[in-house]
């Protein structure tokens, strides 16, 4: 009788004989919160998740839009709370220790390694060398026993190529626009496959520029589109003025920014949905900012008169409050019920969100110049 072919033995053999490949599925197990429940939901379909380890995520936006606040601040802090160590590549020379500490990031060298870099090749070599050492020491362990790590590159837009450096030394300022997109694409492509089997994530910030295409008004991400294909999550951020006090009352002076986040790509939820996140200068980001508006758009809370009403599908209890009365404790009730009963969140409910909404300044406050 012919011996049956054992596919599992073939799997073991091929992964050992060919370096650079991994067999099996690598669905995300560990998630890192962005610090905002609504953004978490739009990215991952879960209020408490966020970005996954084992994948590449990109947050792109103009200067001062809050991308470093989210990535180098909130995501790093959330990662540390989950037991992750963090390697932070700073290409802008802008991440001061006092600023990180103000965001409750633990800057202890045993938990955070900050590396100042200027070249794409240096980031690639650093990640490659780290992964070689990681595989050699922990590659044979079970996933749950492996140490967790988060790479953060802030930002891709400021990284240089060797040609850029050589031209600068000669006083030639032409730049190397041809090779840079290819180098960024190669960096992300090579990294994404190395991360897949391990509890290691890569988060990058990048710059955006205004589109010149009248038929496609969305801001464009610098460095080309190549690395976007290898990313699991891409979020575009616009900077808007926040002219409200901490109680939500309109004021004439700017009290902070509104980070208008739009999910351009996600492998875990619907794309082209957005949220405005308030980041007051005095208090920082509110984890529940933008949640009332999203729940209203989704039909979870319904406007009745001048109040918003929520009926619990779990207990039948009705919560009815003015818009400003929807405080964090009441919003947390909805999040907790979603955890118990996913049907609470209407993933299958169609909404009327206009995909160009984030590009229409009239929807928000006046645009920041």
CA 328 – CA 158 distance, rounded (Å): 38
Tell me: the pLDDT tens digits for 233-282? Answer: 999 999 999 999 888 889 999 999 999 999 999 999 999 999 999 999 98
What CA–CA distances, in Å, run from 129 to 76, 123, 149, 300?
Answer: 22, 10, 14, 48
Sketch the domain layout of the chain as residue ranges. 26-286, 290-349
Average of per-residue pLDDT values in the chain:
86
* CB 195, CB 54: distance < 8 Å: yes
- Between 150 and 25, the higher pLDDT residue: 150
| Reported confidence tier of residue 348, pLDDT bands at 50, 70, 90 | very low
Phi, psi at residue 337, to the nearest 5°?
Answer: -70, -30
CATH number for the region 290-349 comes to 3.30.250
Tell me: the pLDDT tens digits for 137-147? Answer: 998 899 999 99
Looking at 3.20.10.10, 3.30.70.1530, 3.40.50.300, 3.30.420.40, the CATH number of the domain 26-286 comes to: 3.40.50.300
Instruction: Answer positive or negative: Cα dihedral of 295, 271, 266, 225.
Output: negative
């Amino acid at each position: 009788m012919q011996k049956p072919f054992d596919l599992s033995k073939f799997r073991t053999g091929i992964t050992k004989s060919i370096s650079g490949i991994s067999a099996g599925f690598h669905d995300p197990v560990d998630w890192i919160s962005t610090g905002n429940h609504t953004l978490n939901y739009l990215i991952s379909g879960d209020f408490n998740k966020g970005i996954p380890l084992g994948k590449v995520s990109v947050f792109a936006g103009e200067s001062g839009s809050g991308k470093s606040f989210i990535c180098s601040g909130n995501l790093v802090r959330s990662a540390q709370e989950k037991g992750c160590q963090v390697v932070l590549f700073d290409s802008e020379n802008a991440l001061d220790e006092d600023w990180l500490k103000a965001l409750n990031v633990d800057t202890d060298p045993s938990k955070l390694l900050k590396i100042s870099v200027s070249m794409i090749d240096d980031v690639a070599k650093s990640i490659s060398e780290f992964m070689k050492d990681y595989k050699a020491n922990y590659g044979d362990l079970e996933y749950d026993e492996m140490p967790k790590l988060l790479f953060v590159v802030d930002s891709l837009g400021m990284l240089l190529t060797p040609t850029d450096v050589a031209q600068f030394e000669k006083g030639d300022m032409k730049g190397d626009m041809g090779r840079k997109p290819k180098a960024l694409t190669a960096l992300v492509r090579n990294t994404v496959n190395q991360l897949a089997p391990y509890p290691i994530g890569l988060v990058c910030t990048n710059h955006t520029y205004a589109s010149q295409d009248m038929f496609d008004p969305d801001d464009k991400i610098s460095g080309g589109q190549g690395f976007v294909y290898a990313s699991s999550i891409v979020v575009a951020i616009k900077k808007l003025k926040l002219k409200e006090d901490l109680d939500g009352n309109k004021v004439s002076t700017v009290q902070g920014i509104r980070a208008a986040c739009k999910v351009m790509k996600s492998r875990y939820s619907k794309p082209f949905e957005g949220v405005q996140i308030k980041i007051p200068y005095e208090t920082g980001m509110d984890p529940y900012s933008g949640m009332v508006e999203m729940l209203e758009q989704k039909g979870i809370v319904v406007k009745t008169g001048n109040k918003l009403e929520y009926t619990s599908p779990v207990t039948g209890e009705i919560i009815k409050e003015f818009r400003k009365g929807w405080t964090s404790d009441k919003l947390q009730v909805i999040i907790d019920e979603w955890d118990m009963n996913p049907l609470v969140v209407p993933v299958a409910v169609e909404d009327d969100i206009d995909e160009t909404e984030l590009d229409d300044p009239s929807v928000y406050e006046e645009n920041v110049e």
